[in-house]
Amino acid sequence: MPIAQLTIPEMGAGHSSARPVGLADGVVLLDPAGAGVLPSQRVPRALPFRAGERMNQPTFHALAESLPAGVRAELIEGVVIVPPSVTDDHATTHGHAVWSAIGYKLHTPGVVAGDNGSVVLGPESEPQPDVALRLAPECGGQSRVENRYVTGAPELVIEIAVSTEATDLHARKRDYERGGVREYVVVAVERRRVMWFENVGGRFEERDPDADGVYRSRQFPGFWLDPAALLNQDGPRLLEVIHQGLASPEHAAFVEELAARRRAATMREEV
């Protein structure tokens, strides 16, 4: 089956009518015009919680739904985390990781790709993975959408670690491990290192790339990632490796397997 050529489009800029412009001591400052105003014109609005506050997932979720548009917060091991502003090196690396996942998803029916979506992971955990790949429930996936939110662990998660590296490699890693994430990828931008963890018997074990320097997912056959290309933001090489994975026999077999799972699920529903 021929594989359509993928490209990385230019990222368009957009804004809402009230743009977050600052955060201080649990208070977010909103720009009501969305186009830049004087500091004296900014509208303060208190967040429903403070960074570092402890709570369970249901309480956090109920409060988080009242956050102003554009303000993010996560619950990691029962502790509220309000992420810092996103730096350019995080944003651009994140963009390349997202397009790697989207490129794979477009040619793998039954796979869902997510970008910064909240995941109800456990009684004290509601993270927002930078990138997530999930199997659809009808294809045997371990997550589902309830009330518009993903509930249950994505099979594969990618986190871009700049200022969040300590959290990503410790508390967040433990949460993903407990929650049942099967593969966890941490892109440590400043250290220029990609770490790929595989869940073996309920514990994450770091694995090395293959001899050619490429990581090949075991949960998603054909999802290939060149860590050097991702760190170097080498789009052409990144897409070259994606195409190679999509053209592999293991990817073709996986697509057939997912189609068979969907047919079986449909037959069960009709009985």
At 90, which amino acid appears?
A: H
Domain spans of the chain?
A: 88-270
**At the top level of CATH, which class does the domain 88-270 belong to?**
alpha beta
pTM listed for this prediction? 0.84
Alpha helices in 68-156 (DSSP H): 88-106
The mean pLDDT values, 10 residues at a time, for the chain of 271 residues are 41 39 45 44 65 95 87 94 89 96 97 96 97 97 96 98 92 97 97 97 97 98 98 95 98 98 88 70
Contact yes or no for 114/154 (Cβ under 8 A)? yes
pLDDT at 48: 86
**How far is Cα 47 from Cα 37, in angstroms, rounded to an integer?**
21
Distances (CA, A) of 121 to 43, 77, 144, 154: 33, 10, 11, 9
| DSSP one-letter string for 32-58 | TTSS---GGG-EEEE-SS-TT-B--HH
pLDDT at 45: 56
| DSSP one-letter string for 133-195 | EEE-GGGT-S-EEETTEEES--SEEEEEESTTHHHHHTHHHHHHHHHT-SEEEEEETTTTEEE
**How far is Cα 243 from Cα 241, in angstroms, rounded to an integer?**
5
pLDDT at 8: 37
Among 106, 102, 59, 62, which residue's Cα sits nearest to residue 78?
A: 59
Contact yes or no for 237/229 (Cβ under 8 A)? yes
CB neighbour burial string for 198-230, b if at least 16 within 10 angstroms, e if fewer: bbeeeebeeeebeeeebbbbebbbbbbbbbebb
pLDDT at 221: 98
**How far is Cα 27 from Cα 47, in angstroms, rounded to an integer?**
6
pLDDT at 234: 95
pLDDT at 31: 42
Q: Return the biggest CA–CA distance within the chain.
A: 65
Contact yes or no for 224/241 (Cβ under 8 A)? yes
- Joined tokens for residue 248: 């592999």
- Kindly give the pairing relationship between strand 183-188 and strand 156-161: parallel
Contacts 24+ apart (CB under 8 A), 3-12: 3/107, 3/243, 3/246, 3/247, 4/106, 4/107, 5/243, 6/99, 6/103, 6/106, 6/239, 6/242, 6/243, 7/239, 8/95, 8/96, 8/99, 8/235, 8/239, 11/95
**How far is Cα 16 from Cα 30, in angstroms, rounded to an integer?**
11
